[in-house]
Amino acid sequence: MTMSVLEGALAFGFTALGLALAMNLWRLLKGPGVTDRILALDTMVINVIGLIVLAGISGGSGTSFEAALLLAMVGFVGTVAYAKFLLRGDIIE
């Protein structure tokens, strides 16, 4: 079985992003502070966006990019809401 260059690169990309997600999960569980957990969640969202983009290239359809864009927006709003809550004790004042 021969693999094209792009298939090899995609396999490497999926593996690397999976490993990255596992490391983020470790940081999310270990902490030690709540700030580390927010940072780990933010990084997980970024890596999942990367996975969706790779899946879009691999599947050959352009429809998965709406999902990636939505995830980017929701992830940003979530991070800012966590940070705002810890800074002010309230999200919308």
Partner 1 sequence: MSGPAAIAELLAAALIVLGAGFALVGSWGLVRLPSLMERLHGPTKASTLGMGAMLVASVVWFQLGEGVWTTHELLISLFLFVTAPISANMIAKVHLHRLRTAELSGGACEPAGPAGRPTPPPGSADWATHEAPHEGTPGDLAGD
Q: Which residues of this protein are in contact with partner 1, per CB under 8 A?
A: 4-6, 8-10, 12-17, 19-21, 23-24, 26-27, 32-36, 38-40, 42-43, 46-47, 49-50, 53-54, 56-57, 60, 62, 65-66, 68-69, 72-73, 76, 79-80, 83-84, 86-88
Q: Shortest distance, CB of residue 33 to partner 1, whole angstroms? A: 7
CA distance 82 to 88: 10
SS3 content of the chain, % helix, strand, coil (to 5): 85, 0, 15
What number of helices (H) and strands (E) belong to the chain? 3, 0
Shortest Cβ distance from residue 57 to partner 1 (Å)?
Answer: 5
Cα 19 to Cα 25: distance, rounded to the nearest angstrom: 10
| 33/92 with CB nearer partner 1 | 33
Which CB, 1 or 32, lies closer to partner 1?
Answer: 32
Distance CA 23, CA 88 (A): 30
